[in-house]
Structure 1
Amino acid sequence: MAESSISFFVEKLYDLVSQQALLYGAVEGQVRLLRNELEWIRQFLEHADAERRYDKMFKLWVNQIRDTAYDAEDAIDEFISKVERKRQQRFNNLNFLPACVVLPDKLRLVNELNGRISEINIRLEKILINKRRYGMEDLRAYEPGSSSGIATTSERYSNQMVARKEKRLPAVEETNVVGMKNDVEAVKGKLLGGAMERVVVAIWGMGGLGKTTLAKKVSNDTDVQHDFSCRAWVYVSQEYNIRELLLGIANCVTTLTDEQKRKNENELGEEVYKCLQGKRYLIVLDDIWNTDVWQSLSQYLPEELNKSRVLITTRNQGIALYAHSDCHELQTLGEKESWELFLNKVGSAGLEEFKEKIVEKCKGLPLAIVVLGGLLSLKDLTRDSWLKVLNSMDWHLSQGPDSCLGILALSYNDLPSYLKPCFLYCGVFPEDSEIKASKLIRLWVAEGFVQKRGKETLEDIAEDYLYELIQRSMIQLADTRVDGRVKSCRIHDLLRDLAISEAKEEKLFEEGENIDADVLPTSVRRLININQTISPHLQNSNLRSLILNRSPIDDGGWVFLHKYPKLLRVLHQDRGMYGLKLSGKIGELIHLKYLCFSGITWRIILPPSIGGLVNLQTLDTGNDYIRIPHTIWKLKQMRHLNCRGGRISSRQSMRERWVEGHLGVHQMTNLQTLYLEGGDWLKDNNLGKLAHHLKQLKLYLYSHLKLKEESFRSIAQLTGLQKLKLLTDNFIESEGLSTSTPILFPGLESFSHHKCLYKLHLLGPIRKLPEETTLYPPNLMQLKLHYTEMEEDPMPILGKLPNLRNLRLLQGSYVGTGMNCPHGGFLRLEFLQMRLLKNLEDLSVEEGAMPNLKTLKIEYCEQMRKFPDGLLQLKKLQRLNLYEVSQELMSEVLETQGEDWNRIRRIITSQQPPR
């Protein structure tokens, strides 16, 4: 993995040398010398055998090289910070003088940098001499065939991805898992049969057997879903929090208000108890490690005579027995099932002699088989290629008794250098958590793990990285977007253990709880979670990333936010905290690329100094209460600005106008994501100037803003948009249009040129849906309408959209009483949700409509008295959610006899409890 760290730094040195304005005199030569030497070392490390990586002498040498590279990076970053700080101080002290004034003390800083880099070059040369002195072969024996190893790696990877992009992602629920049929039936029998009392059923067995996969298969079974009207799934893991587990259960079985979400553990437990009372429920508690979990949760799960069930998974049989559960032990796969699972991953063509030996060494562990199959699926189908893997297996398995861990280590070592830090970084997320793909990708980019590749965006390259890790089964696919791309992922806990262990060995990141409170090592580059005893030591550290994904320390511990580590690159806070005021000194963090406070659930105050974060790429507040200073527009490197409901302050000093010109969103020429409240910044067609880059736009356009239609007509120019959400509480003022003019949304007469737009969410009144389908985005896949107050039935028009797969008609979207889905309409629709349509009485589905519908949700449509007969013909319908509908409708569904009605009853996933 060290070669990955060096690769990133070598690229940084390339960029630094090209920026002649930063370097004077001999320092440029020293930097070039360092860059060239590290490039040779990177090439050598990339070609080193896996066995060598575990040699103690070799590891010592690699650690010394990596530490030297880190020291060089510190020296250069500190130099850049000092120069920028001097520049800002000079600008603030001089009235109306341009920022380009030569700093008189810059020469001193350059000389200081030159001295440090010279010392580092001398130290590096001594390390290389020691390598030869103690018997390791010559470094340059691994001379690459290209003068640029970075280019070679990028070119090789690009060629691999051309073929790989044609492959489909695996299904979210692993359909190729074999050997579980008997297990599924056994656990189903325990859930559906037996006593009327509440029963706990436990699936237990060693790690890597597929306990979670089995639990998912059982809970998603149509018979199980039909039998339990109320279901919840929560991941427990070793780092559990009872309040968060209760919150997870509550979110599955009811809709909580913001006030309810802020309740303490006991209050939340009472809410869960009341919600479950009187209902037949199934609660899945996945991955329990501690008996205290069951002891704490069981009191909030009603014990009634209605055959409610709790399903737990655990590695520890003692925990299963403690819960007085009906146990099911999951065994390893037999020879036949192991072979079938392996072939599902690698295909069936040739080399059977090697396949049999490889499968035998996996000893029936599904995780080992799947991960190894992912490795081999990307190898050439040649004897030499597979023999090398088989020999590597023998070596890895000889290092310890645990075959699964040995095979996982083999798969990790087989990763190309550009993927290793990306995989290890997944260990920073909590155990069993679902990782949002967009967040993971933005963090990889900010951390510098993604190498440039032609004219592609770094985010697109990072998405390719994610696809390859999924293809290799190093990361699991959790959910997909409507366009088939990755929405979220997770990492198996055994692979996460491997990632954390390797990351500590490679000094990629450290857990805060493992750090001595009195001494923060300078070698720590990234910290995961901290406590109050550590925070005072952060200011003078060389920390690059601080990631907080647990419940935060108390307010007093947040003093470190006023004393930032000066070289910080990533600051991520992802757990609940009420309110945050950032210090004005945050503007001194010129290396900061990623700033996220999505876990803050109240007001955030951003200081004007945020305009000093010249390298910031991502700002994510995820908050409804935030005022953003106008200096935000100075941040020309910004790629993702996500401030839900954030309002821009329009004040701008005369000095800023003179030096910077008129500040505005048009200066953010790298912007890809923008979530903001509308305002004066929308005028002058500023937004339209981002047409070539902006991919996601979410605007809050409220009537008190008094925006005219022309002030945001520039949206029509954003033809590269993929996702668009527009929210308004009233009609936007429109000149020259009568109320009968059919437009999809005020100010946007047509979306016909938005060929990339696949997801559209409109919240606010619509005069009338245009009947001409050419006015809609031609490739629209998902449409969500909210408070649109349509009076005419929208289904005949929307049914003509050729690519629509997901349609959500939410509260207030339609105020009429009847809907009709016509023959031949919605040919590709797979998901339909109708929620809180208070006036809807009749829904009819003609023959030939919605032939591919898989999921239908009818929720809080209490005026519907009759179940649509046309739904009986939908043979592909797999899930039907009926919630808070009339008693007449539910009685018809539950009591009408016939084969089609029996099928409908089997696929109901949620129903109103009997009154």
Structure 2
Amino acid sequence: MLSAIGSAFNLTPTSRRDGLKEDIEKLDRKLRWIQATVEEVENREIHDEAVKLWLQELKCLAGDAEDVLDECHYEILRCQLEVKPAGRAVLSGQVTHSISNSAIINYVSSYLSDSVSLEMGEKISQINSRFDEIARDREALRLTNEDGMRRVGIPSINLSSTSHLLSKDGIFGRSHDKEEIINLLCSGVLEDDEIKYQLKVIPILGMGGIGKTTVAQMVYNDPFVKSRFDVKAWVYVSSEFDIIRLTKEITECVTGKHGNSFDGFSKNQEVLLNELVGKRMLLVLDDVWDVTQDDWETFFLPLRAAQVVRVLATSRNEAVTEASDTVSPYRLYLLPQRDCLKLFYHYAFGGEGMREGECSLDNGKEIIKRCGRLPLAIKCIARALRYNKNQYVWRDILYSELWEFDEFDPIFRSLKISYYHLHPKLRDCFLFCSLFPKGSRLRKISIIYMWIAHGFVLPKGRKSAEDIGEEYLAELQLRFFIEPCTKGSFRLHDVIYDLARSLSGGEIHTIMDEKSSEIPEKIRHLYIKKGNNSFQSFRPERLRTLFNAPLSTHGSFIDLYMIYGQCVSLD
């Protein structure tokens, strides 16, 4: 590697800035110290606000140091291209795309121009000064290696290729709910063949993480239900009731044709209408947040060709019941204690059962109680404990200080503990997924490439970075931090999404409308909905990811220069 980089600089240095090499060496050492310190502190239960602010500043400094070293990396690549003889193509492999910090130290200080050397030296000097200030703050705060209770049982990454599929032995306590909803759903479906159009919307209401989607899946896949309907479709709605997208996806479900087979909203409505003439249809609208009466009526226009339409709409919003054609909602409540215990031990032990000395029934009951008897929280923390079956580990988690915070939201308490039992590399990957709007369906391969661009995923041994990224996704899915959608895509459950945003430390920001156009100065990852002009006056300092901003039509030349110079991931 070093010889390859050295051969690229077949130049005589015109001016060497004394001390720059030493500054870069010093910066590299400090960056490694910062990264180790951040990882250590994040694995402790720190609740002092002053310490949290100190940690946030330390992470910010680490990002700035990485930016400076990336800039050095860029200068090496630029020089490699400039030294090629005029008119001669650069052959594959001649440009070094991955340069270690040690290579930067050995070569950049010798071959940078005077102006660039001066600029780099000033940036490094500022970072070193900030580092010294932060180190003094640590002393003032009297932080030691013993501060904060150590979070026990942080596992090494033991990645599994097992995919998570909803199975009958993984569902407990919802059989009665399923039967009640089926009775509501199928009542009158086959009673009158002469009826021209019959629509009934059944809302399934409950708090986040209680199992609304699971119950809807149980009903949707029930053989009796299948026999009562000619056509079935399932669509995920989320916070925006997008009629165009929903109509397209329903049309794809009904026809079995995907992609751009039917371009345009009107064409999709026409195709859907023709497909449904005289049929009995079951439609599941999963995770409905809000819908106006006008949108509701427009959405159902092509469905009026069907003889019977039954709609299951899962939601946390009581207002959904106010839409026309809805019946009294079916409400899901917390699981009974005995079913919670079955669910917990199923995911904690994988059906193997307890072995002597591994844990205790009392500890399991108390953990369930602290999870608020919410299925999603129980499954997440059970998966975390599956990697640590020692009874002492369970006790440490049970008496963790984290349970004392967020006292009004038991699901967040348990999910945070599950999050902190992820390997640090997985944490970064998980938090990055919350950049996109809530409910987004994310393409696995696209997310993996973004992780790689940010250095969250690195090749290991004979495995490529792409292979490692696939394993990271499998692990996050196994631990219920992501949910599979269609083949090659996934999404974050709304509650998990909220968790990720609360833990991102303000580094991730999403702008969906003009009302939310204020952009924090220190963000590192930004998503702007297409058509939003908030980007025009934005001056990024630490931005690493930019999505959907209208770069070609808004902003001055200097704006675009700043963006392209800062980001490692653009869309």
- Using the size of structure 1 for normalisation, the TM-score is 0.52
Aligned partners of 2:2 and 2:223: how far apart in 1? 60
Q: Would you say 1:448 and 2:462 are equivalent positions?
A: no
Aligned partners of 1:70 and 1:469: how far apart in 2? 25
Deviations 1:562-610 (A, max 9, x none): 76522322223xxxxxxxxxxxxxxxxxxxxxxxxxxxxxxxxxxxxxx
Q: Would you say 1:489 and 2:490 are equivalent positions?
A: yes
In structure 2, stretches of 5+ residues that fail to align are: 10-15, 96-107, 149-153, 193-197
Look up the match of 2:38. 45
1:256–1:468 distance in 2 versus 1, CA, 3 Å:
closer
Aligned length: 524
Look up the match of 1:354. 363
Aligned partners of 1:517 and 1:192: how far apart in 2? 44
Look up the match of 1:343. 345
Matches within 5 A, 1:601-640: none
How far did residue 77 of structure 1 move? Answer: 3.0
**SS, match of residue 284 in structure 1:** strand
Aligned partners of 2:4 and 2:18: how far apart in 1? 14
Aligned partners of 1:28 and 1:218: how far apart in 2? 66
Which letter maps to 1:182? Answer: H
Which letter maps to 1:278? Answer: G
How far did residue 358 of structure 1 move? Answer: 0.9
Look up the match of 1:199. 200
Look up the match of 1:333. 335
Query: Which region of structure 1 is more displaced relative to structure 2, 124-133 or 471-480?
Result: 471-480
Q: 2:133 aligns with which of 126, 136, 144?
A: 126
User: Any conservation in 2 of the 1:282–1:310 contact (CA below 8 Å)?
Assistant: yes
Aligned partners of 2:72 and 2:334: how far apart in 1? 57
Tell me which of the two structures has the higher relative contact order, counting C-alpha pairs closer than 8 angstroms and 6 or more residues apart.
2
Look up the match of 2:384. 375
Deviations 1:372-406 (A, max 9, x none): 11111111x223211111012x6334432111121
Q: Would you say 1:136 and 2:135 are equivalent positions?
A: no
Matches within 5 A, 1:807-818: none
1:51–1:83 distance in 2 versus 1, CA, 3 Å:
closer
User: Any conservation in 2 of the 1:543–1:565 contact (CA below 8 Å)?
Assistant: no
Aligned partners of 2:69 and 2:247: how far apart in 1? 48
**SS, match of residue 123 in structure 2:** helix
Deviations 1:654-702 (A, max 9, x none): xxxxxxxxxxxxxxxxxxxxxxxxxxxxxxxxxxxxxxxxxxxxxxxxx
1:208–1:18 distance in 2 versus 1, CA, 3 Å:
farther
1:553–1:174 distance in 2 versus 1, CA, 3 Å:
farther
**SS, match of residue 510 in structure 1:** strand
Matches within 5 A, 1:455-470: 455-470=462-477
Deviations 1:296-355 (A, max 9, x none): 412332176x33211111112331243442321111100111111111111231422211
Aligned partners of 2:63 and 2:340: how far apart in 1? 45
**SS, match of residue 494 in structure 1:** helix
How far did residue 173 of structure 1 move? Answer: 5.2
**SS, match of residue 336 in structure 1:** helix
Aligned partners of 1:298 and 1:312: how far apart in 2? 14
1:559–1:181 distance in 2 versus 1, CA, 3 Å:
farther
1:141–1:215 distance in 2 versus 1, CA, 3 Å:
closer
Matches within 5 A, 1:119-198: 119-133=126-140, 135-138=141-144, 157=156, 161=158, 165=160, 168-172=162-166, 175-194=169-188, 197-198=198-199
Aligned partners of 1:522 and 1:42: how far apart in 2? 22
**SS, match of residue 308 in structure 1:** strand
Q: 1:34 aligns with which of 27, 31, 49?
A: 27
Aligned partners of 1:33 and 1:515: how far apart in 2? 44
Aligned partners of 2:64 and 2:437: how far apart in 1? 30
Q: Would you say 1:64 and 2:57 are equivalent positions?
A: yes
Query: Which region of structure 1 is more displaced relative to structure 2, 423-432 or 494-503?
Result: 423-432
- Using the size of structure 2 for normalisation, the TM-score is 0.80
User: Any conservation in 1 of the 2:202–2:311 contact (CA below 8 Å)?
Assistant: yes
Query: Which region of structure 1 is more displaced relative to structure 2, 22-31 or 64-73?
Result: 22-31
Aligned partners of 1:215 and 1:136: how far apart in 2? 53
Q: Would you say 1:244 and 2:252 are equivalent positions?
A: no
Aligned partners of 2:84 and 2:207: how far apart in 1? 63
How far did residue 445 of structure 1 move? Answer: 1.6
Look up the match of 2:12. none
Look up the match of 1:543. 543
User: Any conservation in 2 of the 1:520–1:541 contact (CA below 8 Å)?
Assistant: no
Aligned partners of 1:185 and 1:385: how far apart in 2? 39
Which letter maps to 1:315? Answer: R
1:559–1:258 distance in 2 versus 1, CA, 3 Å:
farther
1:255–1:464 distance in 2 versus 1, CA, 3 Å:
closer
Matches within 5 A, 1:212-291: 212-254=213-255, 261-264=262-265, 266-291=266-291
Look up the match of 1:523. 522
Q: 1:78 aligns with which of 71, 81, 105?
A: 71
- Structure number with higher helix proportion: 2
How far did residue 553 of structure 1 move? Answer: 6.7
User: Any conservation in 2 of the 1:76–1:113 contact (CA below 8 Å)?
Assistant: no
Which letter maps to 1:462? Answer: G
User: Any conservation in 2 of the 1:172–1:477 contact (CA below 8 Å)?
Assistant: no
How far did residue 259 of structure 1 move? Answer: 7.3
Q: 1:302 aligns with which of 276, 292, 304?
A: 304
Q: 2:417 aligns with which of 410, 418, 440?
A: 410
**SS, match of residue 566 in structure 2:** coil
Look up the match of 1:510. 509
Deviations 1:597-644 (A, max 9, x none): xxxxxxxxxxxxxxxxxxxxxxxxxxxxxxxxxxxxxxxxxxxxxxxx
Aligned partners of 2:480 and 2:397: how far apart in 1? 16
Q: 2:115 aligns with which of 108, 132, 141?
A: 108
Aligned partners of 1:515 and 1:410: how far apart in 2? 35
User: Any conservation in 2 of the 1:520–1:537 contact (CA below 8 Å)?
Assistant: no
Which letter maps to 1:474? Answer: F
Matches within 5 A, 1:579-728: none
User: Any conservation in 2 of the 1:201–1:325 contact (CA below 8 Å)?
Assistant: yes
Aligned partners of 1:307 and 1:521: how far apart in 2? 50
User: Any conservation in 2 of the 1:397–1:407 contact (CA below 8 Å)?
Assistant: no
Aligned partners of 1:175 and 1:19: how far apart in 2? 57
In structure 1, stretches of 5+ residues that fail to align are: 1-14, 143-152, 481-486, 573-915
Aligned partners of 1:78 and 1:545: how far apart in 2? 16
Which letter maps to 2:381? Answer: L
User: Any conservation in 1 of the 2:511–2:528 contact (CA below 8 Å)?
Assistant: yes
Aligned partners of 2:64 and 2:138: how far apart in 1? 20
CA RMSD for the aligned pairs?
A: 3.8
Aligned partners of 1:519 and 1:78: how far apart in 2? 28
Q: Would you say 1:209 and 2:202 are equivalent positions?
A: no
Look up the match of 2:399. 391
Deviations 1:402-437 (A, max 9, x none): 111211122112222111111112213443344343
1:465–1:59 distance in 2 versus 1, CA, 3 Å:
same
Look up the match of 1:473. 480
Which letter maps to 1:226? Answer: S
How far did residue 86 of structure 1 move? Answer: 6.5
Which letter maps to 1:40? Answer: W
User: Any conservation in 1 of the 2:435–2:525 contact (CA below 8 Å)?
Assistant: no
**SS, match of residue 282 in structure 1:** strand
Which letter maps to 1:41? Answer: I
How far did residue 454 of structure 1 move? Answer: 3.1
How far did residue 107 of structure 1 move? Answer: 4.1
Aligned partners of 1:516 and 1:28: how far apart in 2? 47
**SS, match of residue 234 in structure 2:** strand
